């Protein structure tokens, strides 16, 4: 059974971050005290860190399941493609009806569609895992001045001073489509359930499934810098690994 990223994160993170939200309010918007558990049984920072690690591990397990499901769809697509080709030749010899060929065609189309959906789920899982894993690192980073730029092995940040809101997204999509001949692969547009549970303010941001070091990524980052649009590009949760790589357009969304 497939748990989409929003569903998975809601199930796994609801207990973790609802408790964190209560603690946030109890401390006047500050952090949970790390000294001890309060009278209401709120978790300490160490407990929150442990639970967050457990959540990330479960998300990784979900992703592994999706990899297995993808392999099954890929195997089925090969078999169905061969079946379609066989029936096409039989139809040419008038040994079967067009309806029988269409039946094979529809089965192949469904499997290919399912395969594409699972790939999208895997990408969404990768991005969610990366954002959850790198949350603390993002919170520790110093703020950038307007026009400031910084780059590390895992992150590229730019605090552009140009006008930005989600209403400006179409011009980015137009640039990308004209440059590369296909649609900008947006995985999250504005606030989502996943961002609610991660306590990320994503209301005025969008995520794009493009590796920042690819030719598409470099061109997109150059365009964003030229137009003054802020971004944070994730090269991956681990230096040298591309899993979860994406470009977050808008101000960084991690918050305490």
Q: pLDDT for 24-77, tens place per residue?
A: 333 333 333 334 344 455 557 677 667 667 777 877 888 899 999 999 999 999
**Number of C-beta neighbours around residue 97 at 10 A:** 12
Q: How many Cα atoms sit within 13 Å of 177 on the Cβ side?
A: 9
pLDDT at 72: 96
The tokens for 245 are 């790589």
Helix (H) or strand (E) holding 11: helix 5-26
Note whether 164 and 104 are within 8 A (CB).
Answer: no
Low-confidence ranges of the chain (pLDDT < 70): 1-43, 45, 48-49, 51-52, 197-199, 237-242, 254-256
CA 239, CA 255: separation in Å to the nearest integer? 23
CA 176, CA 183: separation in Å to the nearest integer? 7
pLDDT at 125: 81
Terminus-to-terminus CA distance in the chain, angstroms?
33
Residue in the structure block whose two tokens are 């959906």: 117
């Amino acid at each position: 059974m497939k748990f989409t990223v929003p569903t998975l994160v809601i199930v796994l993170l609801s207990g973790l971050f609802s408790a964190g939200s209560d603690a946030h309010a109890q401390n006047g918007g500050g952090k949970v005290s790390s000294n001890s558990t309060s009278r209401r049984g709120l978790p300490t920072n160490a407990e929150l860190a442990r639970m967050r690690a457990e959540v990330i591990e479960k998300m990784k397990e979900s992703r592994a399941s999706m990899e297995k499901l993808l392999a099954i769809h890929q195997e089925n697509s090969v078999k169905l493609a061969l079946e379609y080709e066989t029936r096409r030749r039989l139809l040419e010899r008038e040994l079967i009806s067009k309806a029988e060929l269409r039946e094979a065609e529809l089965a192949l189309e469904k499997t290919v569609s399912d395969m594409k959906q699972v790939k999208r789920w895997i990408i969404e899982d990768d991005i969610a895992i990366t954002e959850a894993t790198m949350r603390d690192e993002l919170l520790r980073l110093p703020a950038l001045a307007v026009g400031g730029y910084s780059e590390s092995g895992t992150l590229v940040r730019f605090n552009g001073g140009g006008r930005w809101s989600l209403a400006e997204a179409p011009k980015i999509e137009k640039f990308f489509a004209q440059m590369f001949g296909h649609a900008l692969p947006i995985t999250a547009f504005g606030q989502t359930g996943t961002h609610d549970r991660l306590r990320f303010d994503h209301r005025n941001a969008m995520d794009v499934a493009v590796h920042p070091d690819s030719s598409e990524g470099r061109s997109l980052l150059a365009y964003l810098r030229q137009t003054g649009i802020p971004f944070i590009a994730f090269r991956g949760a681990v230096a040298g690994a591309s899993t979860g790589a994406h470009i977050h357009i808008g101000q960084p969304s991690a918050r305490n």
